[in-house]
Amino acid sequence: MCQVTETYHDDMKQDELPSESKKCVKCKEVIAVVAIKAGDKYCRGCFELCFHHKFRATLGKNRVIFPGEKVLLAVSGGPSSSSMLRQVQEGLSPNAHKKLRFMPGIIYIDEGGALDQSLHERQQTVTKLEDIFKASGFPYYIVPLEQVLDLPSSVITMSPSSQQKASSYKASLDDFIRKDTCSQLTPEQKNYTSFHLVQELQTQQLRQLINCFKTLTAKEDILSNLRQHLLVHTARCEGYNKLMLGDNCTRLAAKLLVSVSLGRGAQVSQDTNISDSRYGDIISVRPMRDYSAKEIAFYNHIFNVPSVFSPNLNTKIKEKASIQHLTETFINKLQVDFPCTVSTVYRTSEKLQTTCMSSSCTNTRDRCLLCMCSLDSSQENASALKATQISKCLSQTQTGVANSALSPIQNTESKGTTTENFCKGEHCETSVEERGCCSVIRVPNSTDVTSLLCYSCQLTIKDMSSVDCLPQYILLEAEIRQRRSRMRDEITDFLLDD
């Protein structure tokens, strides 16, 4: 029995874990150096093989990139996009087991003008990235964000899709093999840097546009849309068919929750899927969507993948400054205590579908002016959006009643009796409300951008102090769509039903 005066002379020894638990789960011979999860421990060699295999398997099983196509890699200098660039380099190397069969190019969007960075700071970041791009051997394009102000309106119109069907993948592969492979994989070098062409006036206009938004959430949303417009325009001008993005699993999980919070529930499938065909001829691909941020960080550290830090709107801000930053912080903190958080949210996004119009529809009238997704603003009468629209119309009606209380003379003076209220056709003096044959010459009203946006983009534009600060190509496309809509309403009685 135990006694108070009893002494124990045996030393307490801690049992050592079996040596098998420290070994790689794949080869079971070498000591593991990486632990992705509790049961996923890999050695250096097996971790590299699994990392490369996951990238090529994502492209292979989906077959979104055909042999011989030109693919533009969107590299921001961060860990995820830098790792994507290294995977493409390894896949095109002569010693690769299963070589990639497309022709890559690199693009970097310099957003320093929107972040109030000095010209010297922007030049330093560009110089570091140029060294990485030159070492890859791929043609690269460094484009400042200021160029988004000079884009044509065709960038937000859906061009005819050039995507081939999956049944023609084998035929495309056979045709690629018959050609000279070396000449296909080593395109003519074209290093394009337009950084020195940036004017101070353009930078001021870009900063004015960003500062028009009251909240940081709206600023990040509009900046993401402008960046995507510039990427698509560059890809079209340079002859690229695909656009490869570096969104990883952790980022997509946060993006799913952000989309739901911002009212983009109908567009979740397009924002998080492996491919996005909302622009028609330019297909966006996300080959890094099966990698977690932790896995990418381990790979970059072990194999010395170079990356360049470039600040963004979320740099050195408070946790609750924006919905995007708050959601990302929430996901990362929850992932620490519950390792399956990211994978659970991410797998949920694959199962979400929408009853909105298919992304293959080429009707521009049914697409958002900013994000190019299908419009979801036509809801049922009992929806919250319908109630908000009714409240807005009632408030405008009250303002109109107050204006109509003026005397007839004052009311006529407020409207104006200029020639703009009358038809400009020859020998025709009918008013705007009564004109018929000459209605084509009608003077357009002020551009109403809100009616051409989806619900989420309407909330973003609502935070603007002035809609006139938007780039001219957006306002021009909005005016064109309004004219076509008015013309269609005028001749609707003469059109045949679909």
Euclidean distance between CA atoms 36 and 26, whole angstroms: 13
Taking Cα atoms as reference points, which of 170, 174, 185, 178 lies closest to residue 139?
Answer: 185
pLDDT at position 349 is 77
**pLDDT tens digits for 268-327?**
888 888 999 899 889 999 999 999 999 999 999 999 999 999 888 888 888 899 999 999
pLDDT at position 124 is 92
Mean of the pLDDT values across residues 421-450?
Answer: 49
Residue 437 reports pLDDT greater than 90? no
Q: The pTM is what?
A: 0.81
CA distances for 468 relative to 156, 223, 250, 464, angstroms: 18, 17, 36, 10
pLDDT at position 418 is 42
Vertex 12: Cα angle to 11 and 17 (nearest 5) = 130
Contact 362, 160 (CB under 8 A): yes
Residue 359 reports pLDDT greater than 80? no
H or E element at residue 110: strand 103-110
Taking Cα atoms as reference points, which of 82, 40, 38 lies closest to residue 299?
Answer: 82
pLDDT at position 351 is 79
pLDDT at position 330 is 93
Average pLDDT, the chain: 80
**pLDDT tens digits for 151-190?**
998 898 887 765 555 456 556 555 655 554 444 444 456 6
Residue 432 reports pLDDT greater than 50? no
DSSP character string of 19-38? GGGGB-TTTSSSBP-EESSS
Name the residue ranges covered by the structural domains of the chain.
Answer: 21-62, 65-168+177-353, 408-453+466-498
Contacts 24+ apart (CB under 8 A), 489-492: 490/439
Residue 86 reports pLDDT greater than 90? yes
391-406: string of b/e by CB count within 10 Å (b at 16+)?
eeeeeeeeeeeeeeee
Euclidean distance between CA atoms 104 and 90, whole angstroms: 12
Beta-bridge partners for 109: 143
Residue 47 reports pLDDT greater than 70? yes
Tokens of 465: 């102090």
What is the CATH topology of the domain spanning 65-168+177-353?
Answer: Rossmann fold (3.40.50)
**pLDDT tens digits for 208-218?**
999 999 999 99
pLDDT at position 141 is 94
Residues in CB range of 236: below 8 A, 6 or more apart:
155, 159, 281, 282
Beta-bridge partners for 243: 72, 284
Pairing of strands 242-244, 283-285: parallel
Tokens of 123: 């030049």
Q: Which residue has the higher pLDDT, 159 or 33?
A: 33
